[in-house]
């Protein structure tokens, strides 16, 4: 029935308003932010300052890799609890000119002197969560070097200049970072140098306060001048080893100098016509692909987004995929990981048949994949004007990593070694010069002339979040911004029926899942527990780039500014 309005003025006002709103064309909008669109490059990162630094590098003619390194260097300064030069990185690079996809594993190894016996002789029977014995060689800087040597167009010093500037001049601490920093105060007080570096006035900086890190600026300048040697063979390396020696650790100068990150062949699977790429073990990305293979057996698109059946199927698929990761994934230089078996569609169908749609499984054992013969991280992504793309993730592991800072360096050392097992029979057992099982993973997906580089951080949340993002795009037709924003679940444990659901998932869905045996814990509407992500997309047919940034973080997708005629 038509709306009757007696007052002529109000009738006119109503008519104008309806026309202005485009006949309610946006009433069905399900996302809070619009996708960023540009014919030039785009950088999506968890800090606007970091994304802006990368976009500026693009405007100066830099490759997507140059922008990624510049962005990551700033991220290590402005979000020091999440990432920095003391951590590791992984990257997937799509090279537009050749159509090739490259993977880089820049995760560091344990010191040569580290072993299960070394720790047991100190009375340690299980890997500690932090401290010197969890410190592995930081791989990030060597990763920067490998990426720039292969793809970069700018000097190392150009790419690090924004981070050096902000480290010396200071930056205002953002909302989300301030909260994470505050939560780590007690941990930082456990190490005098960490407290001196990150707790000015004996406390974490508050939202909006200016923070400077001159020690980090000095460390960055050594790399700007000397490349990777400025980190792995110079004063920074000596300070890291001195700290290890003072705390009775095993790190030696040779462990740093001889380290090298590794180019790897990305692993992939297909899902609803998309090809999805992840980094191979020692990372957990294989779990995302395994989940997708299992999920492909369900009509998720027909069931609807975050339906009872859809969520139940994905949660159960997560349990099956992660059980295999925990059992089989390790450094492939030391253990034979059945990658092809885990990723086979036939194996996925067998795992799929174990899912009872009426009841949650609270005790999921690993499967037996065929063997052929013979939560703290930052993610960023870049697409440049030529269509080169970088999916880039970097981390200290826990907040401020090990909680240790080598004197005068300005960055926390990671605690990635905490993921080793002290069970000598396990594939992920601690061995000198071995890389631990890793949680951080970048991703890329492609179909036809479209490429999407994406990632969602958060420890063991990552693979399950990747699978949900892919499903949002492939099953539910969401754009990349909506796919990032959509309500997610996360199951942080490997056993049990516990699962976290964001509050935007309807109560009737949560109630029905509980009836099936899921032990539901409700989160906020945009919860950090399900991680924050970034994404960029390239439509090669149209020559248009798209960017998206998760509202669960402080970040933004920032387009490259147009060329400045005065620069020519």
Task: Please give the pLDDT value at position 26.
Answer: 52
Active site residue 377: yes
Task: Please give the pLDDT value at position 9.
Answer: 39
Task: Write down the residue that tokens 């909260």 correspond to.
Answer: 179
Contact 114/417 with Cβ under 8 angstroms? Answer: yes
Task: Please give the pLDDT value at position 14.
Answer: 36
Task: Please give the pLDDT value at position 527.
Answer: 94
Per-residue pLDDT band at 438 (split at 50, 70, 90): confident
% pLDDT > 70, the chain: 93
Q: Which residues are registered as beta bridge partners of 184?
A: none
In whole angstroms, how large is the CA radius of gyration of the chain?
24
Three-state secondary structure along 410-443? Answer: CCEECCHHHHCECCCCCCCECECCCCCCECCCCE
pLDDT exceeds cutoff 70 at 566: no
User: What's the first-to-final CA gap in the chain, in angstroms?
Assistant: 63
Task: Please give the pLDDT value at position 13.
Answer: 37
Average pLDDT of the segment spanning 441-465:
95
Average pLDDT of the segment spanning 163-190:
96
User: Which pLDDT tens digit goes with each residue over 251-270?
Assistant: 999 999 999 999 999 999 99
pLDDT exceeds cutoff 90 at 1: no
Under CATH, which number does the domain 264-376+441-559 receive? 3.60.20.40
The contacts of residue 213 (CB under 8 Å, 6+ apart) are 77, 80, 167, 197, 410
Task: Provide the whole-model pTM.
Answer: 0.92
pLDDT exceeds cutoff 80 at 484: yes
Q: What is the mean pLDDT of the chain?
A: 92
Contact 200/211 with Cβ under 8 angstroms? Answer: yes
Return phi, psi of residue 510, to 5°.
-60, -40
Neighbours of 430 (CB within 10 A): 23
Which two tokens mark 88? 């590791």
Say how far apart CA 376 and CA 420 lie, in whole Å.
17
Domain segments of the chain as ranges:
71-78+95-263+403-435, 264-376+441-559
Average pLDDT of the segment spanning 5-21:
39
% pLDDT > 90, the chain: 84
pLDDT exceeds cutoff 70 at 202: yes
Identify the three-state secondary structure at position 546: strand
Task: Write down the residue that tokens 């997309």 correspond to.
Answer: 537
Say how far apart CA 88 and CA 305 lie, in whole Å.
34
The contacts of residue 554 (CB under 8 Å, 6+ apart) are 46, 47, 48, 174, 175, 176, 177
Task: Please give the pLDDT value at position 371.
Answer: 61
User: Which pLDDT tens digit goes with each residue over 308-344?
Assistant: 999 999 999 999 999 998 898 888 888 888 999 999 9
pLDDT exceeds cutoff 70 at 66: yes
User: Which pLDDT tens digit goes with each residue over 509-520?
Assistant: 999 999 999 999
Task: Please give the pLDDT value at position 385.
Answer: 96
Of 268-272, 486-490, 559-563, least confident by mean pLDDT is 559-563
Of 377, 381, 409, 439, the active-site residue reads 377
Return phi, psi of residue 164, to 5°.
-65, -40
């Amino acid at each position: 029935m038509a709306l009757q309005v007696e007052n002529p003025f109000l009738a006119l006002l109503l008519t104008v308003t309806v026309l202005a709103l485009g006949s309610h064309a946006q009433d069905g909008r399900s996302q809070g932010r619009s996708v960023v669109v540009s014919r030039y490059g785009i950088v999506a990162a968890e800090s606007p300052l970091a994304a802006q630094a990368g976009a500026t590098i693009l405007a100066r003619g830099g490759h997507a890799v140059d922008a990624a390194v510049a962005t990551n260097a700033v991220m290590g300064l402005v979000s020091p609890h999440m990432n920095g030069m003391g951590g590791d990185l992984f990257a997937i690079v799509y090279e537009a000119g050749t159509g090739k996809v490259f993977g880089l594993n820049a995760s560091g190894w344990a010191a040569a002197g580290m072993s299960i016996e070394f720790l047991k002789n100190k009375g340690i029977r299980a890997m500690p969560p932090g401290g010197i014995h969890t410190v592995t060689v930081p791989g990030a800087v060597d990763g920067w070097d490998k990426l720039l040597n292969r793809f970069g167009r700018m000097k190392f010093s150009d790419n690090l200049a924004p981070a050096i500037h902000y480290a010396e001049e200071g930056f205002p601490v953002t909302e989300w970072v301030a909260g994470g920093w505050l939560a780590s105060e007690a941990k930082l007080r456990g190490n005098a140098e960490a407290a001196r570096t990150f707790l000015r006035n004996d406390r974490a900086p508050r939202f909006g306060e200016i923070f400077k890190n001159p020690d980090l600026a000095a460390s960055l300048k050594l790399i700007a001048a000397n490349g990777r040697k400025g980190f792995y063979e110079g004063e920074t390396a000596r300070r890291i080893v001195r700290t290890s020696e003072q705390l009775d650790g095993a790190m030696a100068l040779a462990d740093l100098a001889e380290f090298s990150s590794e180019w790897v062949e990305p692993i992939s699977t297909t899902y609803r016509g998309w090809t999805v790429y992840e980094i191979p073990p020692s990372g957990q990305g294989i779990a995302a692909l395994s989940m997708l293979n299992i999920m492909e057996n369900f009509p998720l698109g027909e069931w609807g987004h975050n339906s009872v059946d859809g969520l139940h199927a994905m949660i159960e698929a997560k349990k099956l995929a992660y059980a295999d990761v925990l059992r089989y994934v390790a450094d492939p230089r030391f253990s034979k990981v059945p990658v092809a078996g885990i990723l086979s569609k036939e194996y996925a169908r067998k795992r799929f048949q174990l899912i009872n749609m009426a009841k949650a499984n609270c005790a999921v054992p690993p499967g037996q994949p065929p063997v052929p013969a013979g939560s703290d991280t930052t993610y960023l992504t870049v697409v440049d004007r030529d269509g080169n793309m970088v999916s880039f993730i970097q981390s200290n592991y826990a907040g401020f990593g090990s909680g240790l800072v080598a004197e005068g360096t300005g960055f926390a050392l990671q605690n990635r070694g905490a993921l080793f097992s002290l069970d000598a029979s396990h594939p992920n057992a601690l061995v000198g010069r071995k890389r631990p099982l890793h949680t951080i993973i970048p991703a890329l997906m492609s179909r036809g002339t479209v490429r999407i580089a994406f990632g969602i951080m958060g420890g063991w949340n990552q693979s399950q979040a990747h699978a949900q993002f892919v499903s949002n795009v492939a099953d539910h037709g969401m754009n990349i911004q909506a796919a990032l924003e959509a309500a997610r679940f996360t199951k942080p444990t490997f056993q049990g029926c516990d699962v976290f659901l964001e509050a935007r998932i309807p109560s009737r869905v949560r109630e029905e899942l509980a009836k099936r045996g899921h032990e539901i814990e409700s989160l906020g509407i945009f919860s950090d527990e399900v991680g924050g992500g970034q994404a960029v997309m390239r439509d090669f047919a149209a020559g248009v780039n798209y960017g998206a940034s998760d509202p669960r973080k402080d970040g933004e997708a920032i387009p490259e500014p147009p060329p400045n005629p005065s620069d020519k």
